[in-house]
Chain A
């Protein structure tokens, strides 16, 4: 794992990749709208945690992290992991967990289902159904499929729709402030 930098051959390999990424990344952003979109989504992903109220049992210990489960491709997962590093939401440190199909959602607070997993969207959502997990999707039918937050493109701006009903089903509460910046909110507002 790139996050574990204590083995030296891998460390150097990762370092090279990082350097390469750093050099190539600005060019990539400037040249690729998809890259900029992913960047914004990564940022947003790290910030949603601030507007979500989980049941107390989920974050009983102040030292416990808010874990973002990433069901997406490697690039996106890496971007998120990088963006979440050192950040906090609701004064809990953020951490990420790469999820593979078949993984359980134990300890997951936020579940991001990337485009790459849209085919298994229903599976992932079914897995999270009823769990106090904020589900975030970037699928056209994200909300109808039962997602709580679904990224949409409004022109070239990244926006999101929110389903309050889905949040209620998952027994989490969304801040009104979040709702106020959402493009659309389904279900009654709290």
Chain B
């Protein structure tokens, strides 16, 4: 009890907001107890004081009343004693007061105010002469004096004076005692009351506090406070639960949002690492996977094979059948690739029609490569199309070929090029030779770039003659790189590199411009010759190609009739809309179109009808065996008769001797070109020869561009 009280009333250490703090820091339980205690004590003390005052006053009044009664009685009884002067009787009367212990003393006075008889402790002598007729009450020092006259027949016969012990202090003490006893009882009741109130008020609050602590500790917002009452605490519990519901909902929302954003991130990551078309990992992920696999293989001394797979002629398929079919094909290729590798092998789409496989510790990589080549050469049935394609695969091996990922990728790429160059639909392992070939290609490419930049290429011209009349009728422009530092560089190799690298566009533009300039120069010397220029399929597909041709003609003020564009049979066979449209436009402008290397391409001849070209050029490989090789004879004869049937010119290439010429003449072949007539010569030499009049030449009508 005492420690409890000390807890309640113990002074608090001073702080900044002590005034608030001292009260605010106490628990409600203590506050309630203090309230109950203070209230009950205050009520008790006030009531006690009021009761004491009332009680003392009524006691005093009662005492005075009693004194008064006694004074009346004794006084009346004493009248005869006073009248007949009987002191004994008077004393006897006073002695009756013995039964009244509170009356300590009494005195009887005669009519003169002189003391007549007394009882108990002698009273202070009192002269009643002035006061005898008046009733008086004096009190003080714990005593009350009542003095009253004794009358008979309204005549004063004497006076009586009584002294009573007031007993105030004793009474007060007893009251204090009662008060203390009641106070202790009140304290006990307060304790019970406060613990009861605590049960009613503090406990629910503490329960809510505990719950709040639990919620914070466990982060469990599904907990709810138990509502036991419908009062303010009930409202508080409702509000608290409402708050928890709100927090729970918000937390759920946040978690959902978090999960959503995580999924979004994963989706983004997946998208960033995968190819949307095939669903395979993309090049970025391929590189990442390669790094991981390599470092792992390095640790475990394993082997890793990297396969580079390129779909052969995909561009042609894409161009001829449309992107949509191309896309489905790629997806099908991806599926077929994946279905033939082990589960542990990693297949990715690197770019366009290029796929990559990372295969670890594969004992029979040859078999895998062979299987893939074989499986992918089976036709695909896609959307009513039956597409035959194939793949070229380059393979490199870690750690045999290199330990560097970048180098391995280059190796695989080179091996794949090797496979392509070896006729496609096969696989090749990386070798040092491939490396050399790649380096050579690279140096050709950089050399060509430089040559284009510094105008180091040259155009040579090979005249084309009318076989019947042996007159110069046109000329074929051939590109030469006179000062090339690449040993044994053939023009075929140069064009192949130019086509691969895309330099063919710039080179073609340069050639066409130069040729047009030369042709114009000849015309200015009165030599009106048609000049043939070889066009690669890549050039033809360039959207700006027709503009480029127009521009070259316009710049050099050359009429389109003097330009003959030689396009290989393969380009025509591709039979796609772009090629067909481009050729039609060029033809409509008056430009001649010839089919180069005729007979080496596909066996379909329908394109001849579709394109209605101006001339066919018999490939020199057929001319070479004339007149003795039966196949060549048969083919050449067939081509010439075909051309004649279609009513178009035919030109035999690579005529090297008189026998060939005689045979061709016998077959009524229109024109021919080759060493027998003239090898290709520089533009200057060609001009000089023209001027020198070495060749008779057929004159075309003079026409300027646009006229």
Contact = CB atoms under 8 A, between A and B. Distances in A.
A180 B80 contact: yes
Given A50-B153, A90-B153, A91-B153, A157 B80 contact: no
A178 B153 contact: no
B542 interface: no
Band of interface residues on B:
10 to 19
A160 B84 contact: yes
Nearest to B92: A180
B86 A88 contact: no
Interface string A86-104: 0111110000000000000
Contact of B79 (A88, A160, A177): A177
A180 B77 CA distance: 9
A54 interface: no
A27 to B, nearest CB: 21
Contacts of B84: 44, 47, 159-160, 178, 181
A40 interface: yes
B85 interface: yes
A40 B85 contact: yes
Interface in A153-190: 157-160, 175, 177-178, 180-181
B515 interface: no
B152 interface: yes
Contacts of A44: 83-84
B83 A47 contact: yes
Interface in A45-104: 47, 50-51, 87-91
B237 interface: no
A87 B154 CA distance: 10
Contacts of A87: 153, 155
Contacts, number: 41
B91 to A, nearest CB: 12
A175 B79 CA distance: 12
B164 interface: no
Interface in B74-92: 77, 79-81, 83-86, 89, 92
A177 B84 CA distance: 11
Interface string B597-635: 000000000000000000000000000000000000000
Give the residue among A43, A51, A158, A177 with the most B Cβ atoms within 10 A: A177
A180 B89 CA distance: 7
A177 B85 contact: no
A177 B77 contact: yes
Contacts of A158: 85
A88 B157 CA distance: 13
B86 A181 contact: yes
B89 A181 contact: yes
A180 B81 CA distance: 8
Given A40-B85, A44-B84, A160-B84, A50 B77 contact: no
A181 B80 contact: yes
A47 B86 CA distance: 14
A35 to B, nearest CB: 17
Contact of B80 (A40, A43, A91, A177): A177
Contact of B153 (A88, A157, A177): A88
Give the residue among A159, A160, A181 with the most B Cβ atoms within 10 A: A181
A159 B155 CA distance: 22
Given A51-B80, A89-B153, A177-B79, A157 B89 contact: no
B306 to A, nearest CB: 152
B92 to A, nearest CB: 8
Contacts of A50: 79, 83, 152-153
B32 to A, nearest CB: 70
Nearest to A47: B83
A177 B93 CA distance: 11
Contacts of A40: 85
A20 B85 CA distance: 29
A55 B144 CA distance: 44
Contacts of B89: 180-181
A160 B153 CA distance: 23
A91 B153 CA distance: 6
A132 to B, nearest CB: 21
Contacts of A91: 153
Contacts of A181: 80-81, 83-84, 86, 89
A180 to B, nearest CB: 5
A40 B84 CA distance: 9
A43 B152 CA distance: 14
Contacts of A159: 84, 86
B637 to A, nearest CB: 194
Interface string B538-580: 0000000000000000000000000000000000000000000
Nearest to A92: B153
A114 B605 CA distance: 202
A91 B89 CA distance: 25
Contacts of B77: 177
Contacts of B152: 50
Contacts of B79: 50, 177
A133 to B, nearest CB: 20
A159 B153 CA distance: 23
Nearest to B157: A47
Nearest to B86: A181
A181 B83 CA distance: 9
A178 B85 contact: no
A2 to B, nearest CB: 24
A68 B85 CA distance: 22
Interface in B120-161: 152-155
Nearest to A178: B80
A159 B89 CA distance: 13
Contacts of A47: 83-84
16 contacts: A43-B83, A44-B83, A47-B84, A50-B152, A50-B153, A87-B153, A87-B155, A91-B153, A157-B85, A159-B84, A175-B80, A177-B77, A180-B80, A180-B86, A180-B92, A181-B80
Given A40-B85, A87-B153, A91-B153, 20 more contacts: A43-B83, A47-B83, A50-B79, A50-B152, A50-B153, A51-B80, A87-B155, A88-B153, A157-B85, A159-B86, A160-B84, A175-B80, A178-B80, A178-B84, A180-B80, A180-B86, A180-B89, A181-B80, A181-B81, A181-B84
Nearest 4 CB-CB pairs, A to B?
Answer: A181-B86, A181-B80, A177-B80, A181-B84
